Amino acid sequence: MTQRRGLLIILSSPSGAGKSTLARRLMQWDEGLRFSISATTRAPRPGEEHGREYFFLSVDEFKKQVSEGEMLEHAHVFGNFYGSPTGPVKDTINAGDDVLFDVDWQGEQQIRNSDLGKHALSIFILPPSITELHRRLVSRGQDSEDVIDKRMQKSWDEISHWGAYDYVLVNDDLDATEAQLKTIITAERMRREQQPALQTHVRTLQAEFEEMS
């Protein structure tokens, strides 16, 4: 049979729950997994290239793509627009590769309600406790106390939307959570919707059956 159709794998979590580490591990696990390249209206930083880190668009170009339905999801963050262009994602999943999205619950809902939503797999990563979440943010050593406080204040709003996801994992052991993610993805790849050749195969079986009758 021909290749399967790829999944749109959505990972969401509050900051500090381990999502970025898990995403990196998944990319190392399967070379066929592609990270979604977002579009943005912010200016490129030194060393960044169009189509590699981001698709850099003007505000007018971005809004035009949104109005024409060419963004799976989009948001306005700190004065700039960010979004996931539909075209590259559609090409990737039609080629049989999965696309990994690092978006919040609002992005998850937009992708879920898009034309490609039936191919979406959404997973929310919970911390084992709020105390542990705070400890992880502090141990990074990357943010000031004010930034950490803001991340903590935002975390509960994100956690409160856990019920909208297909799967919810408590990341109290990174290796165990990674193994659970791999199991989920492996199983979801076999969903009927992800195997477009099945219908043709069943018709072939039916024709064989009728010839034998």
Q: Tell me the per-residue pLDDT of 24-35, one tens digit each, with 9 for 90 and over.
A: 999 999 988 999
Residue 1: predicted pLDDT: 46
Question: Domain containing 152 — which CATH number?
Answer: 3.40.50.300
> Is residue 136 domain-resident?
yes
> Is residue 67 domain-resident?
no
> Is residue 72 domain-resident?
no
Residue 31: predicted pLDDT: 86
Q: Tell me the per-residue pLDDT of 119-162, one tens digit each, with 9 for 90 and over.
A: 999 999 999 999 998 998 888 877 888 888 888 888 989 999 99
> Is residue 64 domain-resident?
no
Distance from C-alpha of 113 to C-alpha of 119, rounded to nearest angstrom: 11
pLDDT mean over 87-106:
94
> Is residue 179 domain-resident?
yes
> Is residue 53 domain-resident?
no
Largest CA distance in the chain: 76
Q: How many domains does the chain have?
A: 1
> Is residue 189 domain-resident?
yes
**Domain range for 169:** 8-35+96-212
